[in-house]
Amino acid sequence: MENNQGTSPEISPEISPEEYLAGLKEQNRQRVEKLNALKSEGRSPYIETSYPVTILSGEIHGDFDNLDGKDVAIAGRITSWRDMGKANFIDIRDSDGRIQVYVKKDDVGDAAFAEFKTWDLGDIVGVSGFVFRTRKGEISVHAKSLILLSKSLHPLPEKHHGLRDKEERYRKRYLDLITNPEVSDVFVKRSQILQHIRTFLDSRGFLEVDTPVLHTLEIGAAARPFVTRHNALDIEMFLRIETELYLKRLIVGGFDKVYEVGRIFRNEGMDSTHNPEFTSIELYQAYTDYFGMMDLIEEMYRELCEKIAGGDTLTYRGVEIALGKPWARMTMQESVEKYTGKAGLKGFELIEAFEEHVEPNLVQPTIIYDYPVENSPLAKRKPNNPDFTERFEFFIYTWEFGNAFSELNDPQDQRERFAKQVAEKRAQGFNAEIDEDYILSLEYGLPPTGGLGLGLDRLVMLLTDSASIRDVLLFPTMRPIV
C-alpha cells in the first residue's frame, strides 16, 4: 500500500479534468481515478449520510469477554493493511483507538471483496461483523460486510516517520491527529480540565456568563487590540483584550459570583507561551478580597492536580512541581529582599528588581502580593500603605499563571488611573479612551469584590507537560505560506 504524501496542483476555473489529473502525483492520480470510476457507476461514497455504529474500538478491547462472538458495527479510517491474497487484515482507527479487521473473500462475497481491494490507506469505512480473537491472540472484528464512507485522495504520511515537522503539524492539525493519535490525548485532557474548572466554580455558587467580544472603544490598557469595522453601524470596533470590565458591571448589577471562559485577542508577539488569541478564565466574587482569591486558586489547582495528575505533584519538563501542596506567599518587597538583599524598594524600581531577580527563581507555586500602584490600575490601594495595591500574581515554573485583585471600587480613583493610562497610550500614537460607562457603573456602587484571571492555555501546558502553547491549541496562529 502506498504511503507517500502527495499534493494537488493549483486549480483554476479554466483547468480541464484531464489537465487536473495530469498535474497530480501518481498516487493522488490513482485515487482520483478510483473515485471518478465510482461516481461514474453511481456508487459515490459521498452519497452515504450515516452509518449505524454500535460500538467503539476501545469498548471492544475493554469488554472482549462479553463481546466475543457478538455482532458489532464499527467505522473509522484505514491506517494499515496486510494483504494475504483472499484474506486481508486492516487496522481501523476511530475516536477511541485502533481495532484490527479480518476481511475474507468467502465471507463478504466476490464483488464486495473485489471492491474492497481497490480501497486505500486513509479511506473511511464501515464494517459489520463479529468480535473474535485471532490465533496470534489479537482482538479483532471478522467482517461480514463493508462499505466505503469517504475516499481519501491523499496518501497518509509514511508509517514509521509520520508527520514530524512541527510547523506542518500545527498548520495541518487534522493530519497530525490522524498520524500521531497520541496528540489527541492533550486535547481530551484540555476538555477535562475545563470541565473540572467549571464544576469547581459552579459548585461554589458562581454563575457562568458571556460578555461582548466586540468593543466600541480602545481602552488605555497596555495590550494592543485587533481592529475591525461594523459596516451596518459604520463604526470602528475592537476585539476584546479582557473580560474584566463587563464582568464587574454584573457585580454592580447584583450577581455576587460570576465567571467567564472567554476568547481574548491581543495584537502582540508570539512565542512558546503566547498566542494572539487565547482562552482566559476570569471570575469575580462580591464581599471578598484578594486573600479570598488566593485561597480559591490554591484550592482549584489542588483539585486539578489530583484529578488530572492523580496526586499533589506533577512533572513538567523534567521538574517536579508540588502543585497540590501549600503554596509559598510573599509580598513583592519581601521577595526582592529575599533574592537581592535590597529592602524598601518601591514603584518601578521594585518592579524591575522583581522581574530581573525574583521571577527566574519562582519554580514552585508561589503567590506574590502587594504590587506597586504604578502597574496595578484596577486594584484597590492598601489602606495602610497607598503606594501599594491589594494585588497578587501566582507563579509556577518561573511563569506568571494568573493575576488577582481586591477590585478598585472608588470611581474617582478609577477615573484618575484610567486618565493616566489613556494619556500614556495616546502619547504612543493610539486613540485610547476612558470607558465612561464603566466609571458610571462604579458610581452606582461596586461592593467590595475579589477578582481573578488566569490563562487556560498555559495551565493546560503545565498539566499535560507540553513545551509550547501551540501544542495545546488545536489551530494556533501561523504565518500564511505564500
- Residue 349 counted as domain residue: no
Q: Does position 158 have pLDDT exceeding 90, yes or no?
A: no
Averaged pLDDT, 255-283:
95
pLDDT band (50, 70, 90) for residue 160? low
Q: Which residue has the higher pLDDT, 370 or 28?
A: 370
Q: Which CATH number goes with the domain that contains 370?
A: 3.30.930.10
Give the 3-state DSSP-derived string for 328-376, with helices as H, strands as E and coil as C.
Answer: EEEEHHHHHHHHHCCCCCCHHHHHHHHHHHHHHHCCCCEEEEEEEHHHC
Averaged pLDDT, 105-121:
96
At 320, phi and psi to the nearest 5? Answer: -80, 125
- Residue 173 counted as domain residue: no
Provide the pLDDT for residue 431. 87
Averaged pLDDT, 111-127:
97
Same domain, 70 and 102: yes
pLDDT band (50, 70, 90) for residue 429? confident
Q: Three cell numbers at 251?
A: 457585580
Provide the pLDDT for residue 378. 87
Domain that holds residue 40: 17-162
Provide the pLDDT for residue 113. 97
Same domain, 145 and 54: yes
- Residue 354 counted as domain residue: no
| Position 467, amino acid | A
- Residue 12 counted as domain residue: no
Provide the pLDDT for residue 1. 41
Provide the pLDDT for residue 14. 65
Provide the pLDDT for residue 16. 72
pLDDT band (50, 70, 90) for residue 10? low
Same domain, 76 and 154: yes
Q: Which CATH number goes with the domain that contains 47?
A: 2.40.50.140
The count of domains in the chain is: 2
Among 15-19, 261-265, 425-429, 473-477, the minimum mean pLDDT is found in 15-19
Nearest to 426 by CA among 217, 214, 213: 217
Provide the pLDDT for residue 340. 97
Same domain, 291 and 417: yes
Residue range 64-73, pLDDT digits in tens: 999 999 999 9
Average pLDDT, the chain: 93
Same domain, 158 and 228: no
Same domain, 401 and 440: yes
Q: Three cell numbers at 306?
A: 489530583
Same domain, 239 and 305: yes
Same domain, 252 and 151: no
CA 19 to chain centre: 41
DSSP reduced 3-state for 406: strand
Strands (E), 47-138: 71-83, 87-94, 97-104, 124-133
Q: Does position 430 have pLDDT exceeding 80, yes or no?
A: yes
Averaged pLDDT, 170-193:
94
* Model confidence, pTM: 0.90
Position of cell 480540565? 193
Same domain, 283 and 207: yes
pLDDT cut 70: percent of the chain above it:
95
Q: Does position 159 have pLDDT exceeding 80, yes or no?
A: no
Q: Which residue has the higher pLDDT, 222 or 324?
A: 324
At 481, phi and psi to the nearest 5? Answer: -85, 125
Distances (CA, A) of 21 to 1, 15, 26, 36, 283: 20, 10, 9, 11, 56
- Residue 176 counted as domain residue: no
- Residue 356 counted as domain residue: no
Q: Which residues of 456-467 are buried (b: 16+ CB within 10 A; e: fewer)?
A: bbbbbbbbbebe
Same domain, 240 and 110: no
